[in-house]
């Protein structure tokens, strides 16, 4: 059964979209990742233009992070003060990102920048995840205990504008979370990702936040950043396909529920290695497309067709 | 009042009817409107008609014109990057040619050139501000690339189903419009040819438009962009809340 997507302007099988939503939702349930970094390339692979894929995926992430944050909120795992500061940076970042997106589209280099960002970030994240998971697997076998200091102090802690974050038990400069938020906002606008895969490690390792509140807080600010990206992309570029987003999130919600349940029964390290492999495979495919000589060196795009 | 109008139109039709039978070329489409609904996967429109004896038929379909940029990639540090651009003005967004026999055999070159029969005779010119910067051979390369890309997208159809005759004067052909067909006003030109020249021509309009829910969504997204953005966010938040609520108990 095919459906014509009004903004993407292509006809796609509904069950394929539901399946994609379900599969990515399942993975996000198992691993606790947003899944945008997998969904956006998948949409591009099935023929959705990168512009529409990125903007629509931001819209879908709004829904998945709302349902996620409600679960964390009930357990009291959201640092609203930290979330708000991150959000301040995120809003500026998404404004800048949407502007940059329109600018690159005008230059004809948007697709290239999206692909490059994906290759770089998926490569880094996939590689680190793979190393970390295989090391954990190794450590479990050897039973070696590695002690870490509770807090490490370096130049980042000397920055001005210090703020106290009670829930996170931190007293740090507000500039840090603002710049992390900014980076994530730009990525959300350009790559159509929640940026969770950047933000979560940054919050743990750069800010030194307790792991328990990291996911909830990051989801909390992702809601607002992706909402603002959705709004700005709609208003500026008319690239948000609501129909596509609704189909994807229907599959995604169901997949995530199954995934969450399955995740508790599966062993962590092997799964993480699998996810790392998947991330690296997507990265490899994108890199191959950039490097391999295209069948046709020429491509076309309507100009000023509004 | 209405009765008079009806009587009048009947009278006009009665007067016109004998005239019709003497016109050697009559053609029509099975539909004059293509509606892109939610389930749209592309469609075929039948074109049929009659011509005088010993004639050939050529059909040219053109979609609304638009400016189209053609990019050429070049390799930088191992990566293929869009490098050079030539913008063509007034490119038909859709273009199809059908003929009752190979075009070179039934139409003189001047005829094909004048009526744009065949993609090579389309008047594709680079935008004025770019024309000075690119050489003629470059333009020709980009032109061919434009046509090739359009053909790959199924929007330029220069081959395919040809026009078939049923008993000498009755003809028919099937025009295919793919799922990615651009919306707008189309011209379907039907030419009757004798000895390589056009002796009669008829233009039939065809409208391609979005219909149903998809059309409403598209219209709303483009005309009330900000409101659309707000609704997109509200829908997503609602979906998220519903999902969290439904699965909490499960």
Q: A95 and chain B: CB distance < 8 Å anywhere?
A: no
Q: Among residues B127, B155, B157, which one has the least CA distance to residue B142?
A: B127
Q: Report the percentage of chain A scoring pLDDT > 90.
A: 9
pLDDT over 80 at B15, yes or no:
no
B155, B238, B243, B247: best mutation site toward chain A, by most A Cβ within 10 Å? B243
* 8 Å CB contact between A244 and A6: no
Average pLDDT over residues A283-292: 88
Residue B203 has pLDDT above 90, yes or no: yes
Alpha carbons B58 and B101: distance in angstroms, whole number: 9
Q: What is the pLDDT of residues B66-122, one digit of tens each?
A: 888 898 988 888 888 888 888 898 899 999 999 988 888 888 899 988 998 888 888
Give the tens place of pLDDT for each residue, A201-236: 778 777 778 777 887 888 888 888 889 889 988 888
Q: For position A140, what pLDDT does the model report?
A: 62
Position B192 pLDDT exceeds 60: yes
Is 90 exceeded by the pLDDT of residue B230? Answer: yes
The DSSP letter of residue B183 is P
For residue A293, the distance in angstroms to the closest alpha carbon of chain B comes to 7
Farthest-apart Cα atoms in chain A, separation: 63
Mean pLDDT for chain A?
A: 81
A305/B239 CB distance under 8 A:
no
pLDDT attached to residue B21: 47
Mutate to test the interface with A, among B80, B239, B241 (most CBs of A within 10 A): B239
DSSP states along A88-109: HHHHHHHHHHHHHHHHHHHHT-
Q: Of B212, B211, B232, B210, which Cα lies nearest the Cα of B221?
A: B232
Judged by CB atoms closer than 8 Å, whether chains meet at B217 and A6 is answered as: yes
Residue A287 has pLDDT above 70, yes or no: yes
On whether the CB atoms of residues A57 and A287 are closer than 8 A, the answer is no
Tell me what pLDDT residue A211 has.
Answer: 74
Helix, strand or coil, per DSSP, at residue B110: helix
Q: Whole-number mean pLDDT of chain B?
A: 85
- B240 with A300: Cβ contact below 8 A: no
Enumerate the H helices of B100-224 as residue ranges. 103-106, 109-115, 128-131, 136-152, 212-223
- Between the alpha carbon of residue B93 and those of residues A121, B44, B66, B89, B125, the distances in Å are 37, 18, 6, 11, 15
pLDDT 10s digits, A237-269: 888 999 999 999 888 888 887 877 777 776 667
Within an 8 Å CB–CB cutoff, is residue A113 touching chain B? no
Q: Is residue A59 part of a domain?
A: yes
Q: Do A303 and B69 touch (CB under 8 A)?
A: yes
Q: Is A291 on the interface with B (CB under 8 A)?
A: yes
User: B42 in contact with A at a CB cutoff of 8 Å?
Assistant: yes
Q: For residue A68, what pLDDT band results from cuts at 50, 70 and 90? A: confident
ipTM: 0.81
Residue A6 is assigned to a structural domain of this protein: no
CB < 8 Å from A in window 1-30 of B: none
Could you give the maximum distance between any two Cα atoms of chain B, in Å?
80
List C-alpha distances in Å: A214 to A80, B195, B218.
11, 80, 38
How close does chain B come to A90, measured CA to CA in Å? Answer: 17
pLDDT band at B250 (very low <50, low <70, confident <90, very high): very low
Residue B232 clears pLDDT 90, i.e. is over it: yes
Is the per-residue pLDDT at A293 higher than 70?
A: yes
Determine the structural domain holding residue A167 and report its residue range: 11-143+154-284
Nearest residue on chain A to B74, judged by CA atoms? A297
- Which span out of A115-119, A168-172, B8-12 was modeled with the highest average pLDDT? A115-119
Residue A148 pLDDT > 70: no
CB–CB contact A6 B78 (8 Å): no
- Asked if residues A253 and A67 have their Cβ atoms less than 8 Å apart, the reply is yes
Chain A CB contacts of B41 below 8 Å = 2, 4, 11
A225 touches A40 (CB < 8 A) = no
- Rounded to the nearest angstrom, the gap between the alpha carbon of residue B142 and the centroid of all alpha carbons in its chain is 21
The per-residue pLDDT for B247 is 74
3-state secondary structure of B176: strand
Q: Is residue A48 part of a domain?
A: yes
Q: Which of A256-265, A268-277, B177-186 has the largest mean confidence?
A: B177-186
Q: How many domains does chain A have?
A: 1
pLDDT at A141: 59
pLDDT digits (tens, 9 = 90+) for B30-76: 989 999 888 888 899 999 999 988 888 999 999 999 888 898 988 88
Question: Does A194 or A7 have the greater pLDDT score?
Answer: A7
Chain A residue at shortest CA distance from B210 = A6
Select from B132, B134, B103, B133 the least CA-distant residue to B120: B103
Cβ-based neighbour number of residue B196 at 10 Å: 15
* Shortest CA distance from B213: residue in chain A: A6
Please report, for chain B, the start and end positions of each structural domain, with discontinuous segments joined by +.
19-210, 211-242
Q: What part of A 116-175 touches B (C-beta under 8 Å)? A: 116
Which residues of chain B does A3 touch, with a Cβ-Cβ cutoff of 8 Å?
Answer: 38-39
Q: Which helix (H) or strand (E) holds B73?
A: strand B65-76
On the question of pLDDT at B19 being above 50, the answer is: no
**B207 lies within 8 A of chain A by CB:** no
- DSSP code for A156: G
The CA distance from A176 to the nearest CA of chain B, in Å, is 28
Which pLDDT value is given to residue B216? 87
**Model confidence at A153: pLDDT above 60:** no
Class of domain B19-210: mainly beta
A227 with B236: Cβ contact below 8 A: yes
Q: Does residue A185 register a pLDDT over 60? A: yes
> In the Cβ-directed half-sphere of A250, how many Cα atoms lie within 13 Å?
12
The candidate with the shortest Cα–Cα distance to A207, out of A186, A180, A185, A225, is A180
Report for A76-80, A99-103, B6-10, B173-177: range of highest mean pLDDT: B173-177
Please give the residue that has the higher pLDDT: either A227 or A142: A227
pLDDT at residue A78 above 60? yes
Q: What angle do CA B145, B147, B150 make, to 5 degrees?
A: 105
Chain B hits for A67, Cβ within 8 Å:
240-241, 243-244, 247
Instruction: Give the pLDDT of residue B20.
Output: 47
Q: Rounded to whole angstroms, how far apart are CA atoms A125 and A272?
A: 12
């Amino acid at each position: 059964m095919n459906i014509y997507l009004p903004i993407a302007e292509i006809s796609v099988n509904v069950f394929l979209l539901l399946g994609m939503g379900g599969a990515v939702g399942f993975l996000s349930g198992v691993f606790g990742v947003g899944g945008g970094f997998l969904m956006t390339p998948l949409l591009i692979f099935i023929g959705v233009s990168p512009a529409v894929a990125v903007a629509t995926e931001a819209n879908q992430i709004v829904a998945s992070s709302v349902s996620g944050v409600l679960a964390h909120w009930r357990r009291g795992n959201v640092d609203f003060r930290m979330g708000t500061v991150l959000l301040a940076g995120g809003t500026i970042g998404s404004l800048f990102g949407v502007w940059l997106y329109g600018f690159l589209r005008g230059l004809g280099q948007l697709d290239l920048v999206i692909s490059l960002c994906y290759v770089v970030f998926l490569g880094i994240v996939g590689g680190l995840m793979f190393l970390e998971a295989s090391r954990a697997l190794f450590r479990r076998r050897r039973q070696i205990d590695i002690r870490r200091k509770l807090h490490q102090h370096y130049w980042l802690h000397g920055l001005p504008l210090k703020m106290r974050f009670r829930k996170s038990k931190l007293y740090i400069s507000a500039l840090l979370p603002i710049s992390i938020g900014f980076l994530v906002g730009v990525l959300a606008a350009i790559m159509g990702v929640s940026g969770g895969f950047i933000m979560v490690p940054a919050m743990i390792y750069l800010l030194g936040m307790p792991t328990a509140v990291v996911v909830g807080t990051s989801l909390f600010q992702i809601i607002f950043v992706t909402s603002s990206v959705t709004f700005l992309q709609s208003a500026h570029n008319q690239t948000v396909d609501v129909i596509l987003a609704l189909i994807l999130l229907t599959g995604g919600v169901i997949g995530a529920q199954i995934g969450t349940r399955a995740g508790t029964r599966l062993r962590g390290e092997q799964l993480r290695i699998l996810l790392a492999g998947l991330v690296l495979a997507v990265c490899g495919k994108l890199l191959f497309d950039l490097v391999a000589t295209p069948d046709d060196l020429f491509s076309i795009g309507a100009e000023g067709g509004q | 009042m209405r009765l008079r109008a009806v009587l009048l139109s009947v009278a006009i039709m009665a007067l016109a009817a004998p005239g019709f039978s003497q016109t050697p070329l009559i053609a029509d489409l099975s539909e004059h409107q293509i509606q892109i609904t939610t389930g749209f996967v592309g469609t075929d429109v039948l074109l049929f008609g009659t011509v005088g004896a010993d004639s050939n038929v050529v059909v040219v379909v053109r979609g609304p014109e638009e400016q189209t940029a053609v990019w050429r990639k070049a390799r930088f540090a191992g990566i293929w990057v869009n490098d050079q651009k030539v913008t063509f003005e007034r490119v038909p967004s859709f273009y199809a040619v059908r003929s009752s026999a190979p075009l070179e055999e039934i139409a003189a070159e001047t005829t094909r050139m004048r009526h744009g029969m065949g993609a090579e005779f389309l008047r594709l010119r680079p935008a004025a501000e770019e024309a000075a910067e690119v050489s003629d051979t470059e333009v020709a390369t980009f032109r061919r690339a434009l046509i090739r890309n359009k053909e790959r997208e199924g929007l330029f159809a220069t081959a395919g189903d040809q026009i078939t005759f049923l008993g000498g004067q009755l003809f028919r052909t099937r025009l295919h419009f793919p799922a990615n067909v651009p919306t707008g006003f189309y011209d379907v030109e039907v030419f009757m040819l004798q000895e390589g020249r056009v002796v009669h021509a008829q233009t039939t309009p065809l409208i391609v438009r979005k219909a149903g829910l998809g059309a409403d969504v598209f219209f709303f997204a483009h005309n009330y962009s900000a409101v659309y953005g707000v609704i997109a966010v509200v829908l997503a938040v609602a979906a998220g809340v519903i999902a969290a609520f439904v699965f909490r108990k499960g």
